[in-house]
């Protein structure tokens, strides 16, 4: 009990050391207005009393909560009859009741603050959340009954997904898919010395994904090396859709890195401020980068296919456009945070801007630039798996074709291959980034370089060039196609920027934008609720050291890594078969990816907590639940809330495109306009997306900064 009392004393001391500050703020400072005036002010306008008391941030939040709630209640009642009740023959929404309660709490809160009393924010959050989630539930068309009514359909899909088309069994002159049970029987027969039912081979479906050997006419370099005769044929490896996807992601990363480096200097304030007119260039560049990266790769793909046509090359360009903006922003921020000392020293010698960048800036940014490029490679590989949904080429196009034919076992093979490749890329990228950013002692450069190191470097250079040339060819990159755009491309761009602002279109787009935001909110909430208990199981410092605990830890981590390796668009294909086309399927798909990513982030936050309170609680003989409640939760709540806001930001971006696969929301509206060649209306949708994403990005960054 002594240890427990000591720890509680320290914990209470920390709490009490904070409480006098609140008391000081509340009791020693005289309120600028009387409680009566604060009450009347907040009665007239929510948040006004708090503003007059001096609680400006609190006042703004209350005002926004009330204003948004009023608008959403009215909008949802008029457009979708949400919360309809009839009172004395008059139809209204029952959601006005929690709004009234929010208004009353706002009055009591202002009165308490003006009287120098402490008031909790919880009731305001509760009433606002009730309004938002009721509306979100309805506009997202959540119908839990579908999960039960169509469970047999879901079970059929799940069975197919767990039995991918990877192996073919040939028996009695017929081919059939040899799933896990078939493989188990085949292996058992072989081990027992029995004759198997047939012969097995790698399925054509898997070969379509990873590639196969084909007899093709020999190329000139093969003839020159004597590997083939003129006019002859030779066995050549032809990459499958996954190899094409890898090539697309790699080439897009290389191109975007090369382009982003010079652009990033124009977006760095500490560099451009030294030039005449540089500040204006800085703001223009930053604005363009923010707009470009707010538009998802899938949307860029829709535009690019009119430029160069369908295929892997269109996917590379779309990935490159988005990656240039994202990398240039990251690079510019890194440039802005470099040490100013070397810059001042070089500038003092009379060096010009180019010399300053060469000798004072570049040496500081190379490690970070390489790290960000590897991170972007990881992201591009994930995006490349779905860009084929619209641009053609890669595994995304393969998925679309197999699903259209009802080939869920073939689709399952693609999912498994995608998961394996992305997990490997994630692992390699993380390891390389870690080794780049780790501080290494300077090597002695006075001695001669060993021959084996020179040979190794030469080997890597040759290997890299060979990979670049191979990826160039398999991605079908054509400079000629870029210089000769499609005949309708100019008209598309003109229509795209001539957005349609008619009342009918704006209203329709705005409604779908709200659906998209609510999709993201529900998906984040559901994903986080499911992720929290799993994050505890995935935290090594909580699972213990027993063999069972280690198995649980590694199994949970594996599940989280597997689920987050697959993009939400690929999950939508599964859920529309279960619950039907619409925003409900899109929300569930986003919830799965949210669960995986939030679970990983939560578990890492738990693993990075201070072990002192845990050791103190454990030493008292407290149970695992008590340890979590009193030693862990107080430390992890701020980062958890920050991660939730971050995930909501990500989900809003993703929710803008899941409609391309049948997930509803603004993505469905956008693909409809593009499909009917109404590019001016599609431009309106993109403009709304840019504004919403930019606002969410700004708000998310501010909120997370205040929490961490």
In Å, what is the CA distance from 31 to each residue of 18, 21, 47, 59, 111?
21, 16, 16, 15, 11
Query: Cα dihedral sign for 344, 361, 704, 133?
Result: positive
* Residue 417 resides in a domain: yes
**Which of 239, 255, 286 is at the close of a domain?**
239
* Backbone phi and psi for residue 174, each to the nearest 5 degrees, phi listed first: -125, 145
The angle that helices 96-114 and 56-80 make with each other, rounded to 10 degrees, is: 170
Joined together, the tokens standing for residue 487 give 């005949």
Residue 34 clears pLDDT 80, i.e. is over it: yes
Task: Give the residues across from 234 on adjacent strands.
Answer: 216
What is residue 518's predicted lDDT score, i.e. its pLDDT? 92
Taking alpha carbons only, the member of 234, 266, 386 closest to residue 336 is 266
Mean pLDDT across the chain: 83
Mean pLDDT across the stretch 210-218? Answer: 82
**Which of 486, 520, 554 is at the close of a domain?**
486
pLDDT digits (tens, 9 = 90+) for 116-131: 888 888 899 999 999 9
pLDDT digits (tens, 9 = 90+) for 371-400: 888 888 888 888 888 888 887 788 888 888
Q: State the CATH number of the domain containing residue 608.
A: 1.10.3720.10
Say if residue 197 is in the same domain as residue 229.
yes
Joined together, the tokens standing for residue 343 give 């810059």
pLDDT digits (tens, 9 = 90+) for 502-515: 888 898 899 889 99
* Backbone phi and psi for residue 2, each to the nearest 5 degrees, phi listed first: -60, -45
Say if residue 332 is in the same domain as residue 476.
yes
In Å, what is the CA distance from 167 to each residue of 183, 212, 388?
8, 15, 25
Residue 498 clears pLDDT 80, i.e. is over it: yes
* Backbone phi and psi for residue 13, each to the nearest 5 degrees, phi listed first: -65, -40
What span, in angstroms and rounded, lies between the C-alpha atoms of 611 and 631?
9
What span, in angstroms and rounded, lies between the C-alpha atoms of 533 and 559?
14
Mean pLDDT across the stretch 412-421? Answer: 89
What is residue 706's predicted lDDT score, i.e. its pLDDT? 62
Say if residue 658 is in the same domain as residue 531.
yes
What span, in angstroms and rounded, lies between the C-alpha atoms of 46 and 51?
10
What span, in angstroms and rounded, lies between the C-alpha atoms of 461 and 411?
37
* Residue 403 resides in a domain: yes
In Å, what is the CA distance from 60 to each residue of 47, 50, 106, 626?
6, 9, 12, 37
Task: Give the residues across from 92 on adjacent strands.
Answer: 85
- Number of structural domains found in the chain: 4
Say if residue 218 is in the same domain as residue 347.
no
* Backbone phi and psi for residue 239, each to the nearest 5 degrees, phi listed first: -65, 145
What is residue 10's predicted lDDT score, i.e. its pLDDT? 39
What is residue 31's predicted lDDT score, i.e. its pLDDT? 64
Say if residue 109 is in the same domain as residue 169.
no
The total of other beta-carbon atoms located within 10 Å of residue 173's CB is 6
* Backbone phi and psi for residue 227, each to the nearest 5 degrees, phi listed first: -80, -15
CB 635 within 8 A of CB 609: yes
Mean pLDDT lowest among 289-303, 501-515, 551-565, 689-703: 689-703
In Å, what is the CA distance from 465 to each residue of 204, 372, 462?
31, 22, 5
Residue 106 clears pLDDT 90, i.e. is over it: yes
CB 267 within 8 A of CB 329: yes
Residue 154 clears pLDDT 60, i.e. is over it: yes
What span, in angstroms and rounded, lies between the C-alpha atoms of 17 and 19?
6
* Residue 18 resides in a domain: no
Say if residue 428 is in the same domain as residue 533.
no
Distance from the first to the final alpha carbon of the chain: 34
What lies within 8 Å, CB to CB, of 700 at 6+ separation is 645, 646, 648, 649
Residue 408 clears pLDDT 70, i.e. is over it: yes
Residue 660 clears pLDDT 90, i.e. is over it: no
Ranges 66-75, 235-244, 270-279, 470-479, most confident:
66-75
Say if residue 125 is in the same domain as residue 171.
no
What span, in angstroms and rounded, lies between the C-alpha atoms of 162 and 415?
10
What is residue 30's predicted lDDT score, i.e. its pLDDT? 62
CB 100 within 8 A of CB 84: no
pLDDT band at 449 (very low <50, low <70, confident <90, very high): low
Mean pLDDT across the stretch 288-315? Answer: 87
Say if residue 473 is in the same domain as residue 362.
yes
Q: 3-class DSSP state for residue 121?
A: coil
Side-chain-facing half-sphere of 180: CA atoms under 13 Å: 8
Say if residue 130 is in the same domain as residue 205.
no
Please return the burial class of 154, using the count of CB atoms within 10 Å of its CB with bins 0-12, 13-18 and 19+.
middle
CB 637 within 8 A of CB 366: no
pLDDT band at 73 (very low <50, low <70, confident <90, very high): very high
Task: Give the residues across from 49 on adjacent strands.
Answer: none
CB 614 within 8 A of CB 601: no
**Share of residues in the chain with pLDDT > 70 (%):** 92
**Which of 215, 239, 263 is at the close of a domain?**
239
In Å, the largest CA–CA distance within the chain is: 99
The angle that helices 362-391 and 394-404 make with each other, rounded to 10 degrees, is: 20
Mean pLDDT across the stretch 19-42? Answer: 63
The angle that helices 362-391 and 241-266 make with each other, rounded to 10 degrees, is: 140
Mean pLDDT across the stretch 190-195? Answer: 86
Say if residue 297 is in the same domain as residue 226.
no
pTM above 0.95, yes or no: no
CB 521 within 8 A of CB 648: yes
Look at 632 and 289; give whichever has higher pLDDT.
289
Mean pLDDT lowest among 100-114, 312-326, 433-447, 679-693: 433-447
Say if residue 589 is in the same domain as residue 699.
yes
The full DSSP string for 349-403 is TT--HHHHIIIIIHHHHHHHHHHHHHHHHHHHHHHHHHHHHHH--HHHHHHHHHH
Side-chain-facing half-sphere of 499: CA atoms under 13 Å: 15
Q: 3-class DSSP state for residue 238?
A: strand
Burial letters 547-585, b for 16+ CB under 10 A, else e? eeeeeebeebbebbbbbbbbbbbbbbbbbbbbbebbbbb
Pairing of strands 90-93, 233-239: unpaired
What is residue 447's predicted lDDT score, i.e. its pLDDT? 52
CB 127 within 8 A of CB 102: yes
What span, in angstroms and rounded, lies between the C-alpha atoms of 255 and 249?
10
In Å, what is the CA distance from 270 to each residue of 195, 289, 345, 626?
75, 17, 15, 50
Say if residue 391 is in the same domain as residue 288.
yes
What is residue 594's predicted lDDT score, i.e. its pLDDT? 92
Q: 3-class DSSP state for residue 237?
A: strand
* Residue 673 resides in a domain: yes
Residue 8 clears pLDDT 50, i.e. is over it: no
What span, in angstroms and rounded, lies between the C-alpha atoms of 43 and 345?
60
What span, in angstroms and rounded, lies between the C-alpha atoms of 524 and 535?
15
Mean pLDDT across the stretch 418-445? Answer: 73
* Residue 8 resides in a domain: no
What is residue 355's predicted lDDT score, i.e. its pLDDT? 81
What span, in angstroms and rounded, lies between the C-alpha atoms of 14 and 647?
31
Question: Domain range for residue 634?
Answer: 496-707
* Residue 14 resides in a domain: no
Residue 21 clears pLDDT 50, i.e. is over it: no
What is residue 448's predicted lDDT score, i.e. its pLDDT? 62
* Backbone phi and psi for residue 49, each to the nearest 5 degrees, phi listed first: -60, -40
Residue 214's H or E segment, with its range, is strand 211-217
Look at 641 and 93; give whichever has higher pLDDT.
93
What is residue 23's predicted lDDT score, i.e. its pLDDT? 36
Residue 438 clears pLDDT 80, i.e. is over it: no
Look at 367 and 593; give whichever has higher pLDDT.
593
CB 238 within 8 A of CB 216: yes
* Residue 9 resides in a domain: no
Q: 3-class DSSP state for residue 203?
A: coil
Residue 524 clears pLDDT 70, i.e. is over it: yes
What span, in angstroms and rounded, lies between the C-alpha atoms of 397 and 663?
18
* Residue 354 resides in a domain: yes
pLDDT digits (tens, 9 = 90+) for 319-358: 999 999 999 998 998 888 888 788 788 888 888 777 887 8
Ranges 38-47, 304-313, 478-487, most confident:
38-47
Residue 475 clears pLDDT 50, i.e. is over it: yes
The total of other beta-carbon atoms located within 10 Å of residue 433's CB is 20
């Amino acid at each position: 009990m002594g240890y427990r009392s000591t720890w509680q004393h320290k914990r209470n001391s920390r709490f009490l050391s904070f409480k006098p500050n609140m008391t000081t703020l509340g009791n020693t400072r005289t309120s600028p207005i009387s409680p009566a005036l604060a009450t009347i002010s907040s009665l007239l306008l929510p948040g006004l009393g708090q503003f007059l008391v001096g609680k400006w941030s609190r006042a703004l939040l209350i005002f926004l909560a009330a204003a948004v709630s009023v608008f959403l209640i009215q909008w949802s009642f008029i457009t979708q009859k949400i919360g309809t009740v009839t009172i004395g023959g008059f139809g209204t929404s029952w959601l006005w009741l929690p709004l009234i309660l929010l208004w009353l709490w706002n009055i009591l809160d202002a009165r308490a603050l003006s009287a120098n009393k402490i008031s909790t924010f919880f009731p305001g959050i509760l009433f606002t959340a009730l309004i938002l989630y009721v509306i979100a539930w309805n506009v997202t068309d959540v119908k839990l009954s579908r999960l039960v009514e169509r469970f047999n359909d879901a079970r059929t899909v799940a069975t197919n997904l767990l039995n991918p088309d990877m192996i073919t069994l040939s028996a009695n002159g017929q081919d059939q898919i040899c799933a896990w049970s078939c493989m188990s029987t085949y292996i058992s027969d072989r081990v027992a010395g029995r004759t198997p039912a047939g012969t097995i081979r790698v399925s054509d479906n898997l070969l379509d994904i990873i590639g196969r050997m084909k007899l093709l006419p020999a190329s000139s370099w093969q003839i020159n090396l004597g590997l083939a005769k003129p006019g002859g044929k030779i066995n050549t490896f032809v990459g499958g859709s996954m190899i094409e996807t890898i090539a697309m992601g790699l080439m897009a990363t290389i191109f975007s890195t090369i382009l982003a480096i010079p652009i990033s200097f124009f977006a760095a304030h500490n560099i451009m401020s030294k030039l005449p007119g540089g500040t204006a260039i800085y703001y223009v560049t930053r604005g363009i980068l923010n707009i470009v990266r707010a538009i998802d790769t899938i949307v860029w793909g829709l535009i690019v296919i009119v430029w160069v046509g369908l295929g892997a090359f269109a996917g590379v360009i779309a990935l490159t456009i988005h990656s240039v903006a994202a990398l240039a922003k990251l690079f510019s921020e890194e440039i802005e945070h470099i040490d100013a000392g070397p810059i001042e020293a070089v500038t003092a010698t009379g060096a010009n801007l180019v010399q300053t960048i060469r000798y004072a800036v570049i040496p500081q940014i190379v490690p970070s630039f390489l790290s960000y490029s590897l991170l972007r490679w990881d992201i591009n590989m994930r995006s490349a798996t779905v860009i084929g949904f619209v641009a053609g080429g890669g595994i995304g196009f393969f998925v679309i074709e197999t699903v259209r034919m009802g080939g869920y076992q073939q689709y399952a093979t693609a999912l498994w291959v995608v998961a394996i490749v992305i997990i490997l890329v994630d692992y390699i990228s993380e390891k390389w980034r870690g080794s780049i950013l780790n501080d290494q002692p300077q090597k002695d450069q006075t001695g001669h370089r060993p021959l084996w190191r020179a040979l190794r470097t030469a080997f890597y250079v040759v290997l890299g060039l060979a990979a670049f040339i191979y990826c160039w060819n398999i991605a079908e990159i054509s400079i000629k196609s870029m210089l000769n755009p499609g005949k309708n491309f100019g008209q598309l761009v003109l229509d795209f920027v001539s957005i349609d602002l008619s009342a009918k279109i704006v209203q329709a787009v705005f409604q779908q934008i709200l659906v998209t935001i609510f999709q993201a909110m529900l998906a984040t909430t559901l994903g986080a609720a499911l992720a929290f208990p799993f994050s505890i199981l995935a935290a090594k410092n909580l699972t213990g050291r027993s063999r069972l605990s280690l198995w649980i830890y590694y199994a949970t981590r594996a599940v989280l890594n597997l689920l987050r390796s697959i993009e939400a668009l690929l999950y939508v294909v599964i859920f529309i078969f279960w619950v039907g086309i619409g925003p409900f399927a899109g929300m569930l798909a986003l919830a799965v990816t949210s669960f995986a990513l939030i679970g990983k982030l939560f578990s890492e936050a738990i693993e990075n907590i201070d072990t002192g309170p845990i050791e103190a609680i454990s030493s008292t003989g407290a149970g695992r639940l008590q340890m979590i409640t009193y030693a862990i939760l107080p430390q992890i709540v701020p980062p958890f809330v920050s991660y939730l806001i971050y995930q909501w930001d990500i989900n809003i971006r993703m929710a803008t495109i899941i409609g391309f696969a049948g997930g509803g929301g603004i993505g469905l509206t956008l693909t409809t306009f593009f499909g009917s060649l109404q590019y001016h209306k599609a431009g309106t949708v993109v403009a709304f997306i840019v504004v919403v994403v930019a606002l969410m990005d700004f708000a998310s960054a501010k909120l997370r900064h205040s929490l961490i």
